[in-house]
Amino acid sequence: MFKRDPTKSHMMPAHFGARYHGPGSSGWYRDVTALTVPYVTDGSQLAQLLPQGFEPAAEPIISVFYACNRQVDWLAGRGYNMIGVNADVTYRSDGESLGGTFALVIWENLTDPILTGRELQGIPKVYADIPDHSVSNDVWRCNASHFGHTIVDIEVSGLRAPELEEIAASEKALKGKDNPMGWRYIQQAGSFEPKLDEYTTFPSENHITQIMLGEGKVEWKNLSWEQNPTQFHIVNALKSLPILDYRPAALTKGSTNLILPDRLPRPLK
Amino acid sequence: MKPHGEGHVCFIGGGTMGCYNALLAALAGYDAVVYDIAWDSLLEVPQRVSEIAGEMAIAGLISPKAAQDASSRIAIQKDLKAALYGAGLVSESIFENLAVKRELFAELERYAASDTILTTNSSSLLVSDIEDAVIDGSRFAALHSHLGAMLFDIVPGPRTSPATLSRLQDYVQHLGGVSLVLKKENKGYVFNAMIGPVLAAAMLQVIDGAASIEEVDRAWMKRTGSPMGPFGMMDLFGTRLIYDSWKNRPAMPEQPLMDLMKRKVLSFLAPVVGTGRFGMRSGRGFYTYPDPAYAAPDFLQAHPETSLADYALTSAWTQNAVLIATNDVARPHDVDRAWIAATRQAKGPFAILDEIGLERALTLFHVTGPLAGPENAGKVHKCLIDQLAQGRSGLQVGKGFYEYPDPAYAAVTFLSGSVI
């Protein structure tokens, strides 16, 4: 009979044994190119999407980001692309209070990080086709689609090097708020009640080697059930959040480490 | 003590270079007065001087006693008129802003005695950019020092008098330095005009994903025998200094590739400088200090002798050295002399070209890409072709820019050789 090793990480199908962990399988994403387009939205409308305990930050900002992840250690040097949506939030409960971002949804074009992200960290990941970004006439573009229908188009243009003051301001704004959070929710088999229902935080460490700022543009699509039967409600909800004011978009290059020994993923109190 | 009775030396700007230059003067027996417009910066001068002196003592360049004596000869002064009173020489090292420097020099001329020599230590601005801000150009020149090196570039302006040049050469000699009087002004003088492109090539290697910071530094250290590579050097110079020098480059709409390079470099340096990683002095830059990775005994082991990074850096270095010579700024041997004086390496770029062989160097330049602009590329190409036409293809045939087996650069007198 298969016996689970309680000292190791398991995912379905668990009966084949623990996930591989060995030399070269660290949490480092060695080569990450990312575009981030933040914009201010309507706080009360955003609040409708947030589960209990979360409320929009004083300035209700949505950040739509794309990342082209290459040289991913735990994928033996392979990579994948993602497009995600974060909301600036404050989490408050009897146990703790935390400022940070709430992951509304993340699309990825590879199954493996979707499964690990959902099962181990509580990140709301779903699948989409996400081709590599294009750069033409200094305009960076990317998009996600599923079942042949576009979900979102993202564009960043007018790139320039940031002023040092902008870097310092960003550092200051992030101080104490570098807390990505999510809702780990799995329904019971044969019931609509949750089997697993917890909020999580999953810190990572970004080493940015290059940053440029520019003007961003996000275009959400309206989709029907026929066009994208599993995600149309997600896309339409995001489209319904108004884009009130774009903030400077960023192009960054660098590396990311998802495993911080002193800040491992954990359930929120 | 005032060697030759020249009065004290007044240093305008209490940053790293101002303090370093004040210390060199004080070590040579001059009284030094440091002025800075910012009181906070001025109050930090004794600490900065002490740190620089400490580093020089650790490196065995000066004794602790000499450092202590020198420090006692350095005064600070918040009042510009008082700082200039009785000064024989003024050395300016404020931040690289042309408008501010021009305004400053007009003020210095107003307050300094008529025979006081006025010099700029600017790294990136030209003498001609500043010199017409003073009425009496005969006493103005660039006197440019290099942190941690005893090389001093002296660049006369169109009105600089021979007497001023002579006094500046005497001053450098008293400091125990090597002076290089440029035949004509050149952006970045001689050493910076070579090291600048090397640093740019190093950053572009990393920005474009061709190599890591460590790979770039390793390549340079292997090629030149230097104790650190370009990123270690940027930490030594201070990342803010490098950032400012790029930031203050004027836009070049007629050369979009240069503007693109500037944007790339600034976007690379901004996250470093903007997060307080100012280099060696702050304990963090591209490396962490006091024990940077490049100083580890095994840093150079088990890695290939040559690499694409090596080709890119060597090409940028030697092409710019050739350009300096072909532009008649300095002769090849003086270019090497400047390099050796500034870096304490055994060989300069022309010796390296001989080592590589000029035919192979032409191939290298072709593969790594020419310097910006077809005119510059043509000059470099012609220089090497002319050498080849004379049968001077390098070390392998016994003659190139030097004669072998006893090249001039290997002679103990090379550094003290005649300058232009």
Q: What is the pLDDT of residues B264-288, one digit of tens each?
A: 999 999 999 999 999 988 899 999 9
Residues of A in contact with B284 (CB under 8 A): none
Inter-chain touch A171–B275, beta carbons under 8 Å: yes
SS3 A46: helix
What CATH number should be reported for the domain holding residue A39? Answer: 2.40.400.10
Is a pLDDT exceeding 60 seen at residue B2?
A: no
Distance from CA of A250 to the nearest CA of B (A): 11
Nearest residue in A to B286, CA atom: A209
Question: Does the CB of B259 have a partner CB in chain A at under 8 Å?
Answer: no
Backbone phi and psi for residue A207, each to the nearest 5 degrees, phi listed first: -105, 100
Within chain B, all domains assigned CATH 3.40.50.720 are found at 3-181
**pLDDT bracket for residue B5 (50, 70, 90):** low
- Please check whether residue A210 touches B, CB under 8 A: yes
Q: Which of residues 174-203 of B touch A (CB under 8 A)?
A: none
* pLDDT at residue B370 in the model: 63
Predicted confidence at residue A27, as pLDDT, reads 93
Report CA-CA distances (Å) from B278 to A254, B231, B238, B270: 19, 12, 6, 11
Q: Which of B92, B77, B163 is nearest to B123 (CA)?
A: B92
pLDDT for the residue A75: 97
Beta bridge partners of residue A61, listed in sequence order: A40
Residue B243 touches partner A, C-beta closer than 8 Å: yes
Whether A30 and chain B come into contact, CB under 8 Å, resolves to no
Q: Which residue of A has its CA nearest to B262?
A: A161
Answer whether residue A131 is part of any domain: yes
B372 neighbors B257 (Cβ within 8 angstroms):
yes
Is B69 in a helix, a strand, or coil? helix
User: Are the beta carbons of B243 and A164 separated by less than 8 Å?
Assistant: yes
When scoring B215, B243, B267 by the number of chain A Cβ atoms within 10 A, the one with the most, hence best to mutate, is: B267
Residue B244: its chain A contacts at CB < 8 A?
Answer: none
Model confidence at B37: pLDDT above 60: yes
Total domains present in chain A: 1
pLDDT bracket for residue B88 (50, 70, 90): very high
Minimal Cβ distance to B207: which of A162, A208, A210:
A210
Q: Are A210 and B243 inside 8 Å of each other by CB? A: no
Q: Could you say which of B207, B268, B270 has the minimum Cβ distance to residue A167?
A: B270
Contact A39, A218 (CB under 8 A): yes
**Strand spans (E) along chain A:** 28-40, 54-56, 61-72, 78-92, 97-108, 125-127, 134-136, 139-146, 149-160, 180-187, 194-201, 205-220, 245-246, 249-257, 266-267
Which of A28, A167, A255 is the best substitution to test chain B (most B C-beta atoms within 10 A)? A167
Q: Chain B: nearest CA to A167, how far in angstroms?
A: 5
Q: How far is CA B93 from CA A21, A58, B16, B98, B180, in A?
A: 55, 45, 9, 12, 19
pLDDT score at A168:
87
Residue A35 falls inside a structural domain: yes
Judge whether A258 lies within some domain.
Answer: yes
- Mean model confidence pLDDT for chain B: 90
pLDDT of residue B304: 66
Average pLDDT over residues B368-396: 87
Contact B209, A31 (CB under 8 A): yes
Interchain proximity B206–A162, CB inside 8 Å: no
Q: What is the average pLDDT across B28-38?
A: 95
Q: Which amino acid is at A223?
A: L
Percent of chain B with pLDDT over 90: 65
Q: Is B13 helix (H, G, I), strand (E, B) or coil?
A: coil
Cβ-based contacts of A31 with chain B (< 8 Å): 209
| Chain B residues whose beta carbon lies within 8 Å of the beta carbon of residue A210 | 207, 264, 267-268, 271
Domain B190-420: state its class: mainly alpha
Q: Which of A31, A159, A211 sits opposite B271 (nearest CB)?
A: A211
Distance in angstroms (rounded) separating the CA atoms of residues A44 and A55: 9
With cut-offs at 50, 70 and 90, classify the pLDDT of residue B302. low
pLDDT at B200: 94
Burial letters A94-122, b for 16+ CB under 10 A, else e? eeeebbbbbbbbbbbbbeebbebbbbbbb
Q: Could you list the residue range(s) of the whole structural domain that residue A111 is in? A: 28-267
Contacts of B308 (CB under 8 A, 6+ apart): B205, B210, B211
Indicate where chain B has its CATH 1.10.1040.50 domain(s): 190-420
Q: What is the pLDDT of residues B339-356, one digit of tens each?
A: 998 888 889 999 999 999
Chain B residue at shortest CA distance from A207: B271
Amino acid in the structure at residue B133: A
Tokens representing A63 are 């950040």
Nearest to A164 among B262, B268, B270 (CB): B270
- Is the preceding peptide bond at A162 cis, omega within 30 degrees of 0? no
Packing angle, helices B349-356 and B358-368, rounded to 10: 100
DSSP 8-state code for residue B403: B
Enter the CATH code of domain B3-181. 3.40.50.720
Per the CB < 8 A criterion, the answer to whether B177 and B338 are in contact is no
pLDDT tens digits, B206-265: 998 889 999 999 999 998 888 899 999 999 888 998 998 898 887 777 777 888 899 999
pLDDT at residue A170 in the model: 85
Decide if A7 is inside a domain.
no
Question: Is it the case that residue B303 has pLDDT exceeding 80?
Answer: no
Q: In whole angstroms, give the CA distance from residue A101 to residue B333.
A: 60
> For position B420, what pLDDT does the model report?
38
Interface test with A, best of B266, B269, B277 (most A CBs within 10 A): B266
Residue of A28, A68, A164, A171 to mutate when probing chain B, most B C-beta within 10 A: A164
Closest CA to B12 of B141, B86, B105, B137: B105
Subunit contact A166:B274, Cβ cutoff 8 A: yes
* CB-count exposure of residue A130 (10 Å: 0-12, 13-18, 19+): buried
**For residues B400 and B349, is the Cβ–Cβ distance under 8 A?**
no
**Residues of chain A found within 8 Å of residue B209, distances taken between Cβ atoms:** 31
Whether A161 contacts chain B with CB within 8 A: yes
Residue B415 has pLDDT above 50, yes or no: yes
Q: What is the pLDDT along chain A (269 residues), one digit of tens a residue?
A: 999 999 999 999 999 999 999 888 899 999 999 999 999 999 999 999 999 999 999 999 999 999 999 999 999 999 999 999 999 999 999 989 999 999 999 999 999 999 999 999 999 999 999 999 999 999 999 999 999 999 999 999 999 999 999 998 888 877 777 899 999 999 999 999 999 999 999 999 999 999 999 999 999 999 999 999 999 999 999 999 999 999 999 999 999 999 888 888 899 98
Instruction: Check CB contact under 8 Å for A162 and B268.
Output: no
**Cβ contacts (< 8 Å) between A164 and chain B: which residues?**
243, 270, 273-274
B275 touches chain A (CB under 8 A): yes
What is the secondary structure of A122-190 as a DSSP string?
---EEE-B-PPPEEETTEEEEEEEETTEEEEEEEEEEEEPPPHHHHHHHHHHHTTT--EEEEEEEEPTT
Least Cα separation, residue B256 to chain A (angstroms): 12
Interface test with B, best of A157, A210, A212 (most B CBs within 10 A): A210
Residue A10 forms part of a structural domain:
no
Residues in contact with B366: Cβ distance below 8 Å, sequence separation at least 6, in sequence order: none
Q: Does A178 touch chain B (CB under 8 A)?
A: no
Question: What's the confidence (pLDDT) of residue B29?
Answer: 94
Reading the block at residue B356, the tokens are 């590589």
**Distance between CA atoms of B73 and B1, rounded to whole angstroms?**
9
Provide the b/e sequence for A191-212 (b: ≥16 CB within 10 Å).
Answer: eeeeeeeebbbbbeeeebbbbb
Q: pLDDT tens-digit profile of B105-162?
A: 999 999 999 999 999 998 778 899 999 999 999 999 999 998 878 899 999 999 999 9
Q: What's the CA gap between B371 and B315, in Å, rounded?
A: 9
Alpha-carbon span B6 to B167, nearest angstrom: 10
Mutation target vs B (from A178, A207, A209, A253; most B CBs, 10 A cutoff): A209
What CA–CA distance (Å, rounded) separates A145 from A150?
Answer: 4
B-chain residue closest to A166, CA distance: B274
Taking CB atoms and an 8 Å cutoff, what residues of chain B touch A168? 274-275
Q: Which residues in chain A have Cβ-Cβ distances shorter than 8 Å to B243?
A: 164
Query: Cβ atoms within 10 A of the Cβ of B81, count?
Result: 12
SS3 assignment, position A200: strand
| Predicted local distance difference test score (pLDDT) of residue B306 | 64
How far is the C-alpha of B139 from the C-alpha of B165, rounded, in Å? 9
